[in-house]
Structure 1
Amino acid sequence: MAQLSKHPASPAPTAPERESTGHLMLRGYIVLTLFATLAHTAVFNLLGSTGAVIAMTLLTAGILAIWIPAIAHQRPARFPWRRLPWVALAYGAFALLSVFWSQWPSATLITWALWVAVTVNALFAATMLTWQELVRALSSALKWILGLSLAIELWVALVLQHPILPNFADVPEGKIDPHIYWVRGNFFNDGRIQGIVGNAHTLSMMCLLALMVFGVLFAARVRRRGALIGWSVVALILLYKAASATSVLCGVAAGVVLVIALLMRSANRPAQRTAVYSGSALVVVAGVAGGFILRDQVLAAFGKDSDMTGRFEIWAKVWERAVAHPIIGNGYSSPWVPWDPGFAGWIVDHKLTVFHAHNMWLDVFFQLGIVGVLLMATAWAALAWRAWFFAVDRPRWDLDAKRPYSPLSLLPTMVVAALLVEGLAESAPILLWGWMLLVMFSFKIKSVPLVGVGLDERSSVLAHGEQARQVP
């Protein structure tokens, strides 16, 4: 006869496993490297060109000192070599090869070294962190940018009560162009603010990126959701004060993609998905056509003139030099090195040498020709394709077709939409933080296509409640 036992066979309950001190330090170091890349202009304005190079060199050396031994101690099958973003890496290899025909070889080598540092940073973060940890690291880095931007703007406006120049240089006598200032002190007037990054558009893009990151973390029900609301309010205030029309359009694009992705998630049958695709295509085409027809009114609403703040003139000058070498370009330099003879005084705006073409595709064509454009387009198309299905396909690795979606999987596709729209008026998607996000998300989605599942995801760190088993 069966009897109830007072000695159950199951183990006694234990406290959840805590992260080791070493892993916490690793996450902190990655947050530092992400901050240095996202806010590279802040490092430049604080330390100067030499200091910024030294800082990036030391951070990259630290990454390699951590990463190489970690890879060496792993089984060969653990590191996903085949999942590397090979097209993006091929673009970098072709950029280095261009030194043989570059019209500015020293600028090519300098900026290619910066490309290597940013690429290593992106691959390292994608390898060492899970999806949730990666998004949280981005959140922490963006909080530092927002917090320091708010602090320096208030300090300049309330304490100093006068603008400051990069490297805290002495302000010369007489009137100088406001674009030369690091921070202008416009927080309490009608002027645009620039924040710690020293550029209104870059600050607004950091705010937009922060809103997307905070939003998916809030939807994932992470801890301290109230703090995320507070930081979102700070991001909205800084976004409003930065007043970048391009960032507003990027936000609209990201919002449209988010709505379409949520509609796709709610569709239960193929016919419903087809209807969503068809309706979304009509709405997007109508919106683009309406924006083109009413472009003058739209630009006027954002305070822009018909030539998009001088961009048409910049594009004409870049195109004139680009078509002279249409196949392999004039030589890699992202950004353009302003003191190199090939760029110094070529295109000047507000008494400053312009350091990019204000259009990513024209910039790539100018530097690396049609070959570079094809490589760049393939890299972005591959990421856009994978990011979209990463967001809309239900996570499956067995017969269970009812697992919940992860809110974190929406982030890459929103970021891609925002950056591709930004690339029409800026070159940021091929520079520094834009390139970092391309490489990081490309590698992470390819190596870990399911949030919280797989050899590289610790099952104790999930974006949703279900405890998923790891699968090879």
Structure 2
Amino acid sequence: MAVYSKHPASAPPSPPIREKTGHLMLRAWCIFVLFMAFSGTAWINAFGELATAVITIGGGILTVILWIVLRPPVQYRRLPWFVVGYVAWATLSLLWSAWPQTTAITLLLLYITTTQALFIGSALTWRELVRAIASALKWVMALSILFELWVSVFIGQPILPGFVVDKADDPIEYWSRDNLFDGGRLQGIMGNANLLGPVALLAIIVFAIRLASGAPRRVLLWGWIVLSTFLFVRASSATAYVAAAAIAVVLITVLLMRRADRPGARTKYYVAYAVVGVGGAVALWALRDAIFTALGRSADLTGREGIWEQVLARTAERPWIGWGFATPWMTADPAFDVHITDHGQLVMQAHNMWIDVSMQLGIIGVVLLGLVYLAFVWRSWFFAVDRPRWDLRADRPYSPLTLLPTLVGAILLVQGLAESGPLLLWGWMLVAMFGAKIKQSPHVGVGPAEQSAAIERGEAVGSVDASGDAQIDAPAGPDAPSREAGRGA
């Protein structure tokens, strides 16, 4: 029988650290919420509006209950106050809304999305957050390709929402157009190629960041990148292509910024970034006829300019406070009298988030939304380019995880020029979630909001220094800061 020495050279062996069941269930719930946001209209196409509303409202109530029970650490003074201000102004629009029923219902969706975003950001660490986003995107990518495969192999013709096999008056009505094997555009489970494209682009970014951060099962991650790239290309979304070009510029600039080794070294990169950005925007507008023709689109962005003109004309009637919050548009509401058709169908958005907000919340709403994105882009940019530092040590390595918020910002800003998607679902959720997370936890793996979940998993070792302040080592990992006690930010 083996007997331990009375003077061992090392600690006795112990079983591996395992996550508690409660934390596993919490992370699974966060993945489900993120999946609902990314999949968007898939729930309405599959189960109908009533069932989707019940699931959405029930999910919001469950998240509020979890927040009360778990009480994750939140520094309320460091909330994303511009997000709060935008939500508050949208709520005030109930007082003058021309369509109060639409405003009330869509406000409920805004509240639920914002609450879910703040809860997930406070309940998960940065590593868990990126991992949860990756898991949710895997479900969206996998179900999208399986759905298209099922339609092409077993149905053999386009289908309408609700799994109805019938002929539509216009192809825009189809949930899936049975294009998997004929080279046409794929729409995925969302039923819209312009929604699938940006999500597939986001999936490529998230999986690549997971690879760079040393995540396990790397071969599978490469497989997910290939699948996401296939769906991105087959979605053939012009907006997503432009967003991919913008992301390339942002990523190259961030990596160059990280190489700067002296004060003022970043100035030339900022100048080059501004020249490329402004020059690219001017070239895109000047050459839009040739560019969109090459992409198989009309020069007026497939009818969007006509939609913008009608929405702006309505904005001019109430320029300062708008007509009332309505994201998305509820065309079934008799009071909602903005009736704009595209391909014979009533549109449910202005196809530009700034023009959309100008009609709903006026110039004041546009200014508030601008402040939301200015604060988000500012914080996410320096979160990505600045070396992690909370004491005198200035040589800690960068984390690949810090790239995600600024790249998400690039996607949403470009998408917002041709779609209103950034105002709801995953667009608004990621802006609120990352905006709050950066303020609460400006360093990956360091600070109270990061350490609480690590303690739950048993990954951190607590101690108390001579001053009485708690010191907790950041959990080890391929992209973790060095094991040096810090007081957080």
* TM-score, normalised by the number of residues in structure 2: 0.91
Q: Summarize the alignment of residues 92-171 of structure 1 with structure 2, pairs less than 5 Å apart.
A: 92-171=87-166
Moved more, 134-143 or 263-272: 263-272
> What is the alpha-carbon distance in structure 2 between the residues aligned to residue 130 and residue 468 of structure 1?
18
Q: Which residue number in structure 1 is paired with residue 41 of structure 2?
A: 41
Q: Summarize the alignment of residues 421-460 of structure 1 with structure 2, pairs less than 5 Å apart.
A: 421-457=414-450, 458=454, 459-460=474-475
User: Structure 1 residues 361 and 113, CA, compared in 2 at 3 Å: closer, same or farther?
Assistant: same
- 1:328 Cα deviation after fit: 0.4
Q: Which residue number in structure 2 is paired with residue 192 of structure 1?
A: 185
> What is the alpha-carbon distance in structure 1 between the residues aligned to residue 165 and residue 201 of structure 2?
33
- 1:8 Cα deviation after fit: 4.4
> What is the alpha-carbon distance in structure 2 between the residues aligned to residue 337 and residue 176 of structure 1?
22
What percent of counterpart residues are identical? Answer: 47
* AA partner of residue 214 (structure 1): F
- 1:284 Cα deviation after fit: 2.2
Q: Which residue number in structure 1 is paired with residue 305 of structure 2?
A: 312
Q: Which residue number in structure 1 is paired with residue 12 of structure 2?
A: 12
Contact kept, 8 Å, 1:146 with 1:207, in 2: the verdict is yes
* 5+ long unaligned stretches in structure 2: 455-473
Contact kept, 8 Å, 2:331 with 2:339, in 1: the verdict is no
- 1:344 Cα deviation after fit: 6.1
Q: Summarize the alignment of residues 26-425 of structure 1 with structure 2, pairs less than 5 Å apart.
A: 26-71=26-71, 78-172=73-167, 176-343=169-336, 346-425=339-418
- 1:119 Cα deviation after fit: 0.7
Equivalenced residues, count: 461
Contact kept, 8 Å, 2:158 with 2:165, in 1: the verdict is no
> What is the alpha-carbon distance in structure 2 between the residues aligned to residue 424 and residue 359 of structure 1?
5
* AA partner of residue 94 (structure 1): W
- 1:255 Cα deviation after fit: 1.4
* 5+ long unaligned stretches in structure 1: none
Q: Which residue number in structure 2 is paired with residue 464 of structure 1?
A: 479
* AA partner of residue 392 (structure 1): V
**How far does the alpha carbon of each residue in 1:39-81 deviate from its partner, in whole angstroms, 9 at most, with x for none?**
120111111110110010111111112111222xx7xxx4211
**How far does the alpha carbon of each residue in 1:101-138 deviate from its partner, in whole angstroms, 9 at most, with x for none?**
11110000000001111111101110100001001100
Contact kept, 8 Å, 1:327 with 1:368, in 2: the verdict is yes
> What is the alpha-carbon distance in structure 1 between the residues aligned to residue 338 and residue 183 of structure 2?
31
**How far does the alpha carbon of each residue in 1:281-329 deviate from its partner, in whole angstroms, 9 at most, with x for none?**
2222322232232221111111111211001110010011111001100
**How far does the alpha carbon of each residue in 1:118-159 deviate from its partner, in whole angstroms, 9 at most, with x for none?**
111101110100001001100000000000000010000111
* AA partner of residue 150 (structure 1): I
> What is the alpha-carbon distance in structure 1 between the residues aligned to residue 437 and residue 15 of structure 2?
30
Moved more, 290-299 or 433-442: 290-299
> What is the alpha-carbon distance in structure 2 between the residues aligned to residue 461 and residue 355 of structure 1?
47
- 1:437 Cα deviation after fit: 0.7
SS in 2 for 1:456: helix
Contact kept, 8 Å, 2:102 with 2:336, in 1: the verdict is no
RMSD over aligned Cα atoms: 1.6
Q: Which residue number in structure 1 is paired with residue 459 of structure 2?
A: none
* AA partner of residue 384 (structure 2): A
Q: Which residue number in structure 1 is paired with residue 471 of structure 2?
A: none
* AA partner of residue 229 (structure 1): W
